[in-house]
């Protein structure tokens, strides 16, 4: 399925050339904030970053979900700025805003307690974006950090028909949630975890988030499964052998961290897990917003590039 840009699309994309033949429409990279009203009556906002576009092409879509307490603009500005990558590699980047700055990822977050249907919102958002932009519906991917990574996992469980790949970062899902997770469409997955994450414990247990203005105080948000178990769950749904092959990657920067790559084999869809030793609750190599609480980052892994290289190789 392919869609093309017509002359009527010129205003939205700030098109610089629109000929009657409609064969060479070109738009420059652009960012804007948009909104939709979902079927449950909520106005939902999101940031869209477009690469340079031509009329004859369709483009991948990457959904980027912020962490608890964040926004779409904040994850782009302070946590995981993938805008340059989107322009260089030619994909549409969309960072939605959660209700009450959180996502219903199955842990009893603020939005979940308010009855927000975030899975339904993402379905409507993707449909809207495909209708408005030249997006290839077979190349829609999801990634996110922390609570946004948990939302990415949930989409893999409940909206797998929308997605061609998942990339949760420093994320986990509540104990017991896996019993309700039945992906209709298995897909490639890459996960990134900090072995020394103090907020989303790698070995499972009580998961926390920061209380705004509370001097780094943490608030419990439910028990989560160990990261290897949740990745292993998706590996099983992808038909992989249960025990991954592990290797330590070369240390490029002596910052006290190292990267272990766990690759599942014999898979119908590739599944890999980057476990960063010495790293806390960060999107590497970006520094955390509050290091004394989140722990240190790693300069031995560029998460954004690794994620896109993996996802785009499975189109």
Question: Does residue 293 have a pLDDT over 50?
Answer: yes
State the average pLDDT over residues 20-29.
59
Q: pLDDT at position 182, please?
A: 83
Q: Tell me how far apart the alpha carbons of residues 299 and 282 are, in angstroms, rounded to a whole number.
A: 11
Of 2-11, 120-129, 270-279, which gets the smallest average pLDDT?
2-11
CA 162 to chain centre: 14
Q: Name the residue with tokens 């922390």.
A: 146
Q: Tell me how far apart the alpha carbons of residues 15 and 52 are, in angstroms, rounded to a whole number.
A: 10
Of 16-30, 185-199, 259-273, which gets the smallest average pLDDT?
16-30
Give me the DSSP letters along 60-112: EEEEEE--TT--HHHIIIII---HHHHHHHT-EEEEEPPGGG----SS--HHH
Q: Tell me how far apart the alpha carbons of residues 264 and 231 are, in angstroms, rounded to a whole number.
A: 10
Q: Tell me how far apart the alpha carbons of residues 191 and 182 are, in angstroms, rounded to a whole number.
A: 18
Structural domain contains residue 53: yes
Q: pLDDT at position 221, please?
A: 63
Q: Tell me how far apart the alpha carbons of residues 31 and 235 are, in angstroms, rounded to a whole number.
A: 36
Contact between 169 and 283 (Cβ < 8 Å)? yes
Question: Does residue 211 have a pLDDT over 70?
Answer: no
Q: pLDDT at position 124, please?
A: 98
- Going by the DSSP 8-state scheme, the letter that residue 236 receives in this structure is H
Residue 80 belongs to domain with CATH number: 3.40.50.1820
Structural domain contains residue 9: no
Higher-confidence residue: 224 or 251? 251
Structural domain contains residue 11: no
Q: pLDDT at position 217, please?
A: 47
Angle at CA of residue 67, ends 61 and 70, nearest 5°: 100
Q: Tell me how far apart the alpha carbons of residues 118 and 166 are, in angstroms, rounded to a whole number.
A: 16
Q: pLDDT at position 215, please?
A: 46
Q: pLDDT at position 219, please?
A: 53
Structural domain contains residue 15: no
**Helix%, strand%, coil% for the chain, nearest 5:** 30, 30, 45
Higher-confidence residue: 5 or 77? 77
pLDDT band of residue 55 (cuts 50, 70, 90) is confident
Q: Which two tokens stand for residue 14?
A: 């700030």
Structural domain contains residue 305: yes
Higher-confidence residue: 268 or 219? 268
Question: Does residue 4 have a pLDDT over 70?
Answer: no
Higher-confidence residue: 11 or 168? 168
Q: pLDDT at position 278, please?
A: 98
* Total number of domains constituting the chain: 1
Structural domain contains residue 128: yes
Of 140-154, 215-229, 285-299, which gets the smallest average pLDDT?
215-229
How far apart, in Å, are the Cα atoms of 235 and each of 95, 240, 272? 27, 5, 8
Higher-confidence residue: 7 or 124? 124
Q: pLDDT at position 3, please?
A: 36
Structural domain contains residue 115: yes
Q: pLDDT at position 220, please?
A: 55
State the average pLDDT over residues 232-256.
96
Q: What is the pLDDT of residues 95-143, one digit of tens each?
A: 999 999 999 887 777 777 788 999 999 999 999 999 999 999 999 999 9
**What is the pLDDT of the chain when averaged over all its residues?**
87
Phi/psi of residue 46, nearest 5 degrees: -160, 150
Q: List the one residue out of 283, 267, 189, 293 whose CA is nearest residue 231.
A: 189
The domain containing residue 65 runs over which residues? 32-312
Q: Tell me how far apart the alpha carbons of residues 142 and 62 are, in angstroms, rounded to a whole number.
A: 6
Is the torsion defined by CA of 277, 69, 140, 178 positive or negative? positive
Structural domain contains residue 20: no
Q: pLDDT at position 209, please?
A: 58
Q: Tell me how far apart the alpha carbons of residues 26 and 13 are, in angstroms, rounded to a whole number.
A: 9
Q: Which two tokens stand for residue 29?
A: 């990279």
Q: pLDDT at position 6, please?
A: 36
Q: Which two tokens stand for residue 1?
A: 């399925």
User: In the chain, which ranges are E strands?
Assistant: 15-17, 26-27, 30-37, 43-50, 53-54, 59-65, 92-96, 135-145, 165-169, 189-194, 205-210, 218-224, 245-248, 258-263, 271-277
pLDDT band of residue 11 (cuts 50, 70, 90) is very low
Q: Containing H/E element for 12? A: helix 10-13
């Amino acid at each position: 399925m392919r869609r093309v840009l017509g002359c009527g699309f010129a205003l939205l994309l700030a098109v610089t050339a629109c000929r009657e033949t409609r064969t060479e429409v070109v738009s420059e990279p652009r960012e804007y904030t948009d909104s939709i009203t979902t079927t449950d009556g909520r106005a939902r906002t999101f940031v869209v970053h477009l690469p340079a576009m031509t009329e004859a092409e369709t483009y991948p879509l990457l959904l980027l979900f912020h962490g608890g307490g964040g926004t779409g603009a904040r994850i782009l500005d302070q946590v995981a700025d993938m805008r340059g990558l989107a322009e260089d590699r030619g994909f549409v980047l969309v960072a939605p805003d959660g209700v009450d700055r959180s996502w219903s990822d199955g842990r009893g977050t603020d939005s979940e307690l308010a009855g927000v249907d975030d899975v339904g919102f993402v379905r409507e958002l993707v449909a809207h974006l495909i209708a408005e932009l030249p997006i290839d519906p077979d190349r829609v991917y999801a990634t996110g950090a922390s609570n946004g990574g948990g939302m990415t996992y949930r989409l893999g469980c409940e909206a797998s028909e929308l997605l061609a790949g998942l990339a949760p970062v420093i994320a986990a899902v509540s104990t017991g949630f896996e019993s309700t997770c039945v992906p209709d469409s298995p897909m490639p997955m890459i996960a990134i975890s900090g072995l020394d994450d103090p907020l989303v414990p790698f070995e499972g247990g009580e998961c926390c988030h920061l209380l705004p203005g509370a001097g780094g105080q943490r608030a419990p948000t439910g028990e989560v499964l160990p990261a290897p178990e949740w990745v292993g769950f998706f590996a099983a749904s992808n038909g992989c052998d249960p025990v991954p092959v592990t290797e330590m990657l070369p240390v490029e920067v002596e910052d006290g961290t190292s990267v272990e790559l766990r690759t599942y084999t014999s898979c119908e869809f590739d599944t890999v897990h980057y476990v960063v030793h010495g790293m806390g609750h960060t999107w590497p190599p970006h520094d955390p917003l509050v290091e004394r609480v989140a722990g240190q980052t790693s300069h031995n892994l560029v998460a954004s590039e690794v994620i896109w290289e993996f996802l785009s190789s499975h189109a």
